[in-house]
Structure 1
Amino acid sequence: MNVEGDAKHPDSSLQFLTNKAVVTLQVKENFLHVRCLKKLNPFDPRPFSSFHCNIYLCDILSTATSESEWKVHSKVESLNTANIGSLLHSTASQCKLLLVHIAVKSKGSLWKLQTLKFRCKNTRQCSAWSTYLNENITTSLGRRSVSRPKSLLVFVNPYGGKHKAVDIHKHIVTPIFNKAGIRQLVVVTEYQNHAKEYLKTADLGKIDGIIAVGGDGMANEIINGVLIQVQEKNNISLDKPPADLSEACPSFVRPSIRIGVIPAGSTNCLSYVSQGFDDPETAALHIALGAEHNLDLSSIHDRNGAFQRFSFSMTSFGFYGNVLKLSERMRGLGPSRYDVAGIHSFLHQCSYNMKVWYLPSDTPVDIANDRTKCRYPCNTCCLDKLSDFEQTMSNGDVCSKPSPILSGPINTNFFNNAVHYEVNSNSEDGSQITLGAKITSQTECFESTKSCDNANGNNKWQVTEGKFLMINSALMSCACSRCPQGLSPSAHLADGNTDLILVRNCSRADFVRYMFSHVGKANRFRFPFVEVYRVKGFRCEMPIASSSVTCEQIDIKQTESECSRTSSCWNTDGELVPDPNIHVWVHKGLIKLFAKGIDQK
């Protein structure tokens, strides 16, 4: 047997009894090797090799022992026990159970908790094996810089989604955390922003992570609460002068604490994008195993530089803003309120006159034709530096398959006769304008005096304006069970960019076709009224004029002035930002998430 660390050697020849075979255990090269000595069913046609298995130590949550009765199947009694050794000769009625709790990747990439039971007559050696395995698990995790949580602050939202958060926490999350030896401080939220207010003054030094049992709204509360507390402790103002926001990305301190989400809400976008499913058991196992992934956030400020909030997924103005604004008055309908609000917003379709500035990404990508997706291990998200554990995974030393125990901007040519301008930033009043040739995109260029996150000096602010049905910013793909590909399928979790999607005014029929393109695998950017840019930041401005809003109506008696009074707002992670004039900057990997990322298929 290979000895790791200073752990005491248990007997490698010790025989254990499972439900199907007599086996021995051995730890070698970060794996627990289970080897079959004898099949309990002599008529089983499967070869001995099918009973062997190798369990990756980092997939083991913990091991333990318990007292058990010595139960032998009737088929075992008929065996020639001399061929097995002394395992079955004892007449003692008591034995020890060695319990090995492991995370198993099942079909469809879901993760399940499985407990392997090994019976043994030698109670002292069985306990020694449990201690030995736990010590080797700790050693293996340390070599890969994997830090598993030992104490978690858990927020449970009993009102979100289908009101199942309490049951999910009690029957799915708690058993997994108990087996992993994780202590929990549970707070059941009682009102909106309860978690956010709690975290502003909470002592975060005694916990290893914060978990949201709820939806994206609860996750947004926790992320904002943690970041606000950290910035205040470091004397960093959240509010920024508007002039500074127009020039460079503001800097914020990155919290050391990790955030996790157990999906129990209506859409569960964050869980779906970081795991591939909105499955509570998979999420709980990733947290218990200490999986970690960086997550981009965006900071949102209003026109005066006043901080509004941090966002992790979608920030949208227009249609989605109207849906959220209306759905907030229909919370009694549960998740179906979004369908009702969506139909109402579609029938009252409005377009908004907006001016949008954006700073293109340092690595332009043709997003419409980009087929790459954020999959673990993602070289784009880990471009700066891979951790030792991620490097090992990337080099193929650790397989992402189940454990062996298992069975740039797009030019749509939509506009004609547009004029290209370039403003000389060296001019004090910005009055030096060079008139260029007519092009097919209504675009202006403004040179930036500073840049965001290692941007080169050639980056220029771009600006476009017109009437928009929607302005969407997708920090991630924003996929969910209703929209499996998301708003922008090629967006990444931690590349320091957001995909800015501009949906200009179009007919109601065209808008329906665009919305239905999100249901399947159709290219949602191949519409003449849709533009998409990968950017590091943007800002929007709505001109103060009576013609800022235009409405189409279907048997609805609503005047334009009435629609102006019910102007849209920003929907950011399911939370409202009322001011249409905002600054948005992307912060690369500002938070650490308990997540592994979606596995390659």
Structure 2
Amino acid sequence: MHRFVIHGITRTRKRPSTWVPCEYIFGHKDLKTCKNWFERLMACINNEGNRPKNLMVFVHPLCGKGRGVRNWDTVAPLFDRAKIKTKVIVTERAGHAYDTLASLSDIELKALDGVVAVGGDGLFNEILNGILSSRYKASYPPTPEGFGYFESDENCEEQIRNGLNCSVRTPDSASTTFPGNSSKCDDHEPLLSTSQPTVLEIPSQNPSKEPCTGDQDHLVSFPNDWFRLGIIPSGSTDAIVLSTTGERDPVTSALLIILGRRMSLDIAQVVRWKSSPTAEVLPTVRYAASFAGYGFYGEVIRESENYRWMGPARYDFSGTMVFLKHRSYEAKVAFLEIPNTNSLTASADDVTGAQPLQSRHKKSRKIICRTNCFVCKEASTSGQNSEDEITDSSRKICENSKWVWSEGRFLSVGAAVISCRNERAPDGLVADAHLSDGFLHLLLIRDCPLPLYLWHLTQFTKKGSDPLSFKFVEHHKTPAFTFISSHDESVWNLDGEIFQACEVSVQACRGLVNLFASGPEV
């Protein structure tokens, strides 16, 4: 009897989001028949255009107490079995992945079907910025009148007359940097000590020049349909993987990559105009895939640097220390209010009383993002597929919306791009945030008594709770917002990376990148 093995996947009823490898053994007494079956099956597999053939893999050796290397050793045989070529790079220093991808020529990038991060959200953020920094040339986020630094630009005069500053120029003068001391989260342990922080500068983004090779025939731009990013979860929280697959399982993520699953993901473009109140205006562009937060969220990451010896536990300890300090920050926030979106707002007078804390606004039914989400599909169908269409979409948003200001003292200012699920917050920061609908969820937590803030934070740990219903919490669904602070007392947290800024503008770039994922099953 001649036999051959077919490798497949199976799922369990209890955990439908978990994919488990399985084997099916077939046999026949005739060898020629077995070979015929085998050749036909291989022909079918080779005809599946979605499956990747060439991948670049970055492995972080120290993330999650060394889980990066162990997890890659576990899933690497699956890629070999699927005949997928992988170029594996074990990172040796902070910014290694960023430096490699930013300097990669477009010819080299086009030879790849995607890039995979074996690490956490921080390593993925480094890869994301390395790819987009010199290849994505969309306009700056829209800003309210009086804020924009290019108000004399001819292209902006009409928007200014209408009370808006929708910059249509590409950020040629922007400085896109990735700090060499970006080891401010568990995913960026510095592996090579340096005498001083290193900043990796990316050349100015000029549409008339090919950023890597000078060959226009090989220009790579985003968004596009063929290039995808993947994550083998190995970090401390793995919020991006949990939000996009529903499971924090390396094997499941590897199988999603091997089978060529594809889904679009919104990305937040963060433009820092000033790093401090006295600093010169120098626009610096960064990208975030999951979250951008100021105040409490930034201080937790900054405080954790003092306790690196504790490992991932330092985040819990640092969070407690920052919580007990109970600091608030004076700031002004302007956001685009879009018709037909629900916002839960609170005034400063609402947060001191002991009356019931549920918002007076009627709750709307939450539509959770799942596999084959109709909200994301609807946005994708009516959305854009190129940089020009992203700019056109931004203009239309400006025309059909108005700026709303919110100012005062805030414990935190945050914007969730996705739900940001993690093991401590099973529903995430915003349970009904979608993966590709073109919106940010702006969370403004006003100053309030410490016990009420604790009550708010504990609601995140309970599945099915509503932590955003408190009166001192503002929740706005918006495509863009602007943040202004007259001090530099705190920092921004971009996917777990520290970003010093006192004036920023942020916008959601709908479906800017594709992931090897299909959305959570549950």
| TM-score bracket for this pair, using the shorter chain length | 0.7 to 0.9
For the pair 1:152 / 2:152, whether they are aligned, the reply is no
- Indicate which of 285, 293, 296 corresponds to 1:308: 285
Residue 322 of structure 1 corresponds to: 299
In the aligned structure 2, how far is the partner of 1:130 from the partner of 1:283?
Answer: 27
Offset of residue 578 of structure 1: 0.9
Does the CA-based 8 Å contact 2:141-2:166 persist in structure 1? no
Alignment CA distance shift 1:319-1:300 (3 Å): same
Per the TM alignment, residue 586 of structure 1 is displaced from its structure 2 partner at its CA by 1.0
Once residues 226 and 243 of structure 1 are traced to their aligned partners in structure 2, the CA distance between those partners, rounded to angstroms, is: 26
TM-score normalised by length of structure 1: 0.66
- Secondary structure of the 2:311 match is helix
Q: Number of matched residues? A: 414
Given the superposition, is the C-alpha separation of residues 499 and 249 from structure 1 closer, same or farther in structure 2, using an over 3 Å criterion? farther
In 1, the alpha carbon distance for the partners of 2:368 and 2:167 equals: 26
- In structure 1, which of residues 121, 129, 134 is the aligned counterpart of residue 37 of structure 2? 129
In the alignment, which of 111, 116, 124 is matched to residue 206 of structure 1? Answer: 111
1:34 aligned partner = none
User: C-alpha distance in 2, partners of 1:150/1:137?
Assistant: 12
| Partner residue of 2:409 out of 460, 464, 467 | 467
1:190 Cα deviation from its structure 2 partner: 1.1
3-state SS, counterpart of residue 586 of structure 1 = strand
Q: What corresponds to 1:215 in structure 2?
A: 120
For residues 289-304 of structure 1, the aligned pairs below 5 Å read: 289-303=259-273, 304=281
Q: Which residue of 2 aligns with 1:185?
A: 87
Structure 2, unaligned runs of 5 or more:
143-147, 157-163, 172-220, 274-280, 345-362, 383-391
SS, match of residue 328 in structure 2: strand
Cα deviation, residue 138, structure 1: 4.2
1:243 aligned partner, one-letter code? F
Query: What's the C-alpha RMSD, in Å, of the aligned pairs?
Result: 2.3
Q: Distance in 1 between matches of 2:57 and 2:7?
A: 22
Q: Superposition pairs for residues 230-269 of structure 1, below 5 Å?
A: 230-231=135-136, 242-243=149-150, 247-248=165-166, 253-256=221-224, 257-269=227-239
Cα distance, 1:328 vs structure 2: 2.4
AA at the equivalent of 2:420: C
Does 1:116 pair with 2:111? Answer: no
Residue 103 of structure 1 aligns with which residue? 9
Retained in 1: the 8 A contact 2:141–2:505?
no
**Aligned-residue identity in percent:** 33
CA contact (8 A) 1:451 1:459 kept: no
CA contact (8 A) 2:443 2:475 kept: yes
Query: Cα 1:113–1:386, aligned 2, differ >3 Å: closer, same or farther?
Result: farther
Amino acid of the structure 1 residue aligned with 2:88: V
Give me the whole-angstrom Cα distance separating, in 2, the residues matched to 1:346 and 1:365.
29
TM-score of the aligned structures, taking structure 2 as reference length: 0.75
What does 1:527-538 align with in structure 2 at a 5 Å threshold?
A: 527-538=470-481
Larger fraction in strand: 1
Could you say which structure has the larger radius of gyration?
Answer: 1
Offset, 1:268: 0.3
Q: Determine the C-alpha separation between the residues in 1 that align with 2:81 and 2:499.
A: 42
Q: In structure 1, the residue corresponding to 2:400 is in which secondary structure?
A: coil
Contact 1:496 1:588 in 2 (8 A): yes
* 1:123 Cα deviation from its structure 2 partner: 1.2
Letter matched to residue 261 of structure 1:
I
Structure 1 gap segments, 5+ residues each: 1-94, 388-449, 545-563
Aligned partner letter, 1:369: S
Q: Deviations for 1:82-134, whole angstroms, at most 9, x for unmatched residues?
A: xxxxxxxxxxxxx4322111122223111011111113221111011011122
Alignment of 1:386-535 (within 5 A): 452=394, 454-455=396-397, 457-520=399-462, 521-535=464-478
The equivalent residue for 1:4 is: none
Q: Are the equivalent residues in 1 in contact too, given 2:166–2:398 (CA < 8 A)?
A: no
1:345 and 2:287 matched? no
State whether residues 379 and 438 of structure 2, in contact with CA within 8 Å, keep that contact through their aligned partners in structure 1: no
Once residues 398 and 496 of structure 2 are traced to their aligned partners in structure 1, the CA distance between those partners, rounded to angstroms, is 34
Q: Which amino acid aligns with 1:121?
A: K
Residues 380 and 511, structure 2, Cα contact 8 Å, conserved in 1? no
Which amino acid in the other structure matches residue 383 of structure 1?
E
Between the aligned partners of 1:312 and 1:274, the Cα distance in structure 2 is 11
Q: 1:329 to 1:536 in 2, by over 3 A?
A: same
